[in-house]
């Protein structure tokens, strides 16, 4: 690969803007971003990032577009930081950016996110990422980043490609993260990490969204709150294990201790509901529910939350059409 790396970043929300900043720091990257609701603000003024870790920076991507259809040649890397609301349509829209040597980097919540990309682009390398970045975008093009900052990533192996090619592509991308001065961890198998994150999201995103409370308020709401959360987490762990994913035996204790240490957390799904936006229900809750049904795992708590969230999400989507 040449010294210059063409990167298309799809999804310029708070998380996408943070990774745009990281990639922009690398002198090797020619960065194109796909912006939608904040297109005008970013096109005219760039992105202002105020970070507890990196300070305040205003930067301008090399190119700001509304759709990958505006591209005239494939990208070396496509970084997907969009919310996984409608994966199939997004995957198809990326076709103008995909070439025979393109690597797709998925930085999204949920499990099973890699499947539609592999089906549509079977010859591509896929890098699957779990992000622990805390960020918000209070106004278009203005992003606030907290101290939370970590990326865990690994290959979603492609049996049709030699390992040395995929490994080189992974190394090139992590070099860009290094140049962008953000911490990361490479995993030989990223799926346990993905499932650990989805267990986290299945608990906190669902419970904060349905109760309209932050995490601490919910946990302190009754003596039943923590046992209920443990049962929910244990159901998702059972689905992961039935799927062949090995997880630490103390994962529930670890995650409960971590959330208590973070203070009053409001989740992205909760904020999406408050703003009447579609929520990432399917990749976070729907996929584990479908896996459970397929594998014969009993998940009554998870199923109940899935039904309730779909009702709430349906109400929000209907409201958008009025």
pLDDT at residue 318 in the model: 53
**For 23-49, how does the pLDDT look when each residue is reduced to its tens digit (9 = 90+)?**
999 989 999 999 999 999 999 999 999
What is the average pLDDT across 80-88? 90
pLDDT at residue 1 in the model: 42
pLDDT at residue 125 in the model: 98
Token pair for residue 159? 């049996």
**Nearest-angstrom CA–CA distance, 198 and 301:** 15
| Domain 5-186 listed as CATH 3.40.50.720 | yes
pLDDT at residue 317 in the model: 60
For residue 77, the number of C-alpha atoms closer than 13 Å in the C-beta half-sphere is: 33
**Nearest-angstrom CA–CA distance, 99 and 78:** 10
Enumerate the β-bridge partners of residue 36. Answer: none
CATH topology of domain 191-321: 1.10.1040
pLDDT at residue 319 in the model: 52
List the beta strands (DSSP E) in the chain: 5-10, 29-34, 47-51, 55-59, 63-65, 77-80, 103-107, 125-131, 135-139, 142-145, 151-155, 184-186
DSSP string across 2-62: -SSEEEEEE--SHHHHHHHHHHHHSTTEEEEEE-STTHHHHHHH-EEEEETTTEEEEE--S
Which own/partner pairs from 52-55 qualify as long-range (CB within 8 Å, at least 24 positions apart)?
Answer: 52/145, 52/146, 52/147, 53/145, 53/147, 53/149, 54/21, 54/145, 54/181
Token pair for residue 112? 């099973």
pLDDT at residue 275 in the model: 87
Residue 95 DSSP class: G
- Domain locations in the chain as residue ranges: 5-186, 191-321
In terms of pTM, does the model score above 0.75? yes
Q: Let me know if 227 is exposed, middle or buried by CB neighbors in 10 A (0-12, 13-18, 19+).
A: exposed
The alpha carbon dihedral of 201, 202, 205, 208 has a sign of negative
Q: Which residues contact 267 (CB under 8 A, 6 or more apart)?
A: 201, 204, 205, 208, 209, 215
Assess whether pLDDT exceeds 80 at residue 250. yes
Task: Give phi and psi for 260, each to the nearest 5.
Answer: -65, -35
Assess whether pLDDT exceeds 50 at residue 260. yes
pLDDT at residue 255 in the model: 97
For residue 174, the number of C-alpha atoms closer than 13 Å in the C-beta half-sphere is: 20
**For 167-203, how does the pLDDT look when each residue is reduced to its tens digit (9 = 90+)?**
999 999 999 999 999 999 999 999 999 999 999 999 9
pLDDT at residue 64 in the model: 98
């Amino acid at each position: 690969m040449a010294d210059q790396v063409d990167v298309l970043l799809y999804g310029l929300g708070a998380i996408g803007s943070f990774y745009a900043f990281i990639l922009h720091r690398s002198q090797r990257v020619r960065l194109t971003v796909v912006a939608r609701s904040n297109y005008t603000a970013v096109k005219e003024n760039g992105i202002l990032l105020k970070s507890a870790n990196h300070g305040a920076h205003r930067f301008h991507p090399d190119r700001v577009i509304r759709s990958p259809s505006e591209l005239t040649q494939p990208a070396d890397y496509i970084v997907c930081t969009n919310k996984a609301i409608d994966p199939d349509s997004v995957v198809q829209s990326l076709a103008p950016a995909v070439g025979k040597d393109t690597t797709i980097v998925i930085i999204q919540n949920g499990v099973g996110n890699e499947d539609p990309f592999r089906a549509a682009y079977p010859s591509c390398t896929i890098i699957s990422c779990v992000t622990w970045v805390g960020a918000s975008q209070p106004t278009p093009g203005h992003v606030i980043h907290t101290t939370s900052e970590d990326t865990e990533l690994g290959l979603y192996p492609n049996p049709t490609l030699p390992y040395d090619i995929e490994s080189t592509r992974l190394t090139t991308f992590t070099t860009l993260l290094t140049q962008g001065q953000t911490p990361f961890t490479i995993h030989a198998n990223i799926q346990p990490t993905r499932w650990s994150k989805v267990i986290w999201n299945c608990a906190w995103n669902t419970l904060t969204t349905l109760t309209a409370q932050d995490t601490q308020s919910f946990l302190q709401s009754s003596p039943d709150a923590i046992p209920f959360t443990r049962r929910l987490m244990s159901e998702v762990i059972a689905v992961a294990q039935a799927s062949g994913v090995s997880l630490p035996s103390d994962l529930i204790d670890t995650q409960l201790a971590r959330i208590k240490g973070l203070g009053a957390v409001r989740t992205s799904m909760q904020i999406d509901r408050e703003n009447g936006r579609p929520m990432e229900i399917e990749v976070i809750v729907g996929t584990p529910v479908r896996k459970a049904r397929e594998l014969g795992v009993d998940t009554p708590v998870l199923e109940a939350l899935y039904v309730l969230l779909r009702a709430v999400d349906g109400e929000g989507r209907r409201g958008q059409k009025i």
